[in-house]
Amino acid sequence: MAEEGARQYRQELTADPRAFALIRRTVTAHIRYWGWTDHVGPAVMCVTEMLANVRDHAGSPDCVLILRATPSELRIVVSDRSPVLPVVRQPDWCSENGRGMWLLGANADTWGAEPTAEGKNVWVAFTRPTGAAPPEPTPALGPVCRPANAAPPHVSSRTGSWS
């Protein structure tokens, strides 16, 4: 049984940096609409990091992005086909990489990774304090889709659905 007030968005996509801006706008629009506006910045940063990790470490850029919001939790999941679970390491601040999982832990209330039959899920969650008022939907600000006259990204999302 689904939790009352749960909302979900699911998108199969290719983790291509040229499409990240459009994905960030889509994530921002959903999070704002669902009333989690105060978590947009950290959530979008986490999505970008998780997609970059798919691109760099999963062996295939194909993945699934799931956003799920309830009155008490916003959870973001990125599923990929690699069975290798991420490892948190102490960041080397002089290196150009190696900080992704550390950033997830620093920005989300909780995060985790779990193996699946197809690969793995990496997730982050943001929570509201117990007894906090349920979020009110907020209109999405700014464009969600690219303008009609804009060139399409090289590799874009394949499917998207919401409820």
The owner of tokens 């590799």 is 155
**Which DSSP symbol is given to 10?**
E
Model pLDDT for residues 34-86, shown as the tens digit of each residue: 999 999 999 999 999 999 999 999 999 999 999 999 999 999 999 999 999 98
Residue with tokens 């999405």: 140
Three-class secondary structure of residue 22 per DSSP = helix
- Tell me the pLDDT tens digit for each residue of 9-43: 999 999 999 999 999 999 999 999 999 999 999 99
On whether the CB atoms of residues 15 and 59 are closer than 8 A, the answer is: no
Predicted structure pTM score: 0.78
CA pair distance 123, 79, nearest whole angstrom: 9
DSSP-assigned states of every residue in 68-127: EE-SSEEEEEEEES--PPP------TTSSSS-HHHHHHHHSSEEEEEE-SSSEEEEEEEE
What is the Cα–Cα distance from 58 to 81, expressed in whole angstroms?
Answer: 7
Task: Give the bridge partners for 162, in sequence order.
Answer: 9
